[in-house]
A = this chain, B = another copy of it.
């Protein structure tokens, strides 16, 4: 059993859902040295999140953005935490709905995603800036 861990900084992405699978795999070449294990990706922020979803059609990511904007509206009259702007409190809620980490099996030196799966960075702020991830690969 071995563990590899690295902090990586993503460039600023616009608000929305973005595929980052290749970026992560590139930053953690030691995945190739694990025959069976887990890749854990964690985002150190509370207004951006991670999920696994469809990797082919970009309109899926557009529909995610449209859905979550109506499911968690800005300017809800009952929101108290409003000092950082109308996109802030919805961003916190969306982040917990999606989650702060994804974990994916590593099999025979590869991230064992399904054919149509990719890792999404979910940027919930209008100007979230660059985001820090902690990537941990462990296994035998």
Interface of A with B (CB < 8 Å)?
1-5, 7, 36-38, 40, 42-46, 51-54, 57, 59-60, 62-64, 66-67, 71-72, 76, 78-81, 89, 92-93, 95-105, 107, 112-117, 120, 132, 134, 136, 138-140
Contact = CB atoms under 8 A, between A and B. Distances in A.
A93 B122 CA distance: 13
Nearest to A47: B54
Contacts of A139: 3, 138
Nearest to A135: B105
A56 to B, nearest CB: 9
A100 B1 contact: no
Contacts of A100: 51-52, 102, 104, 117
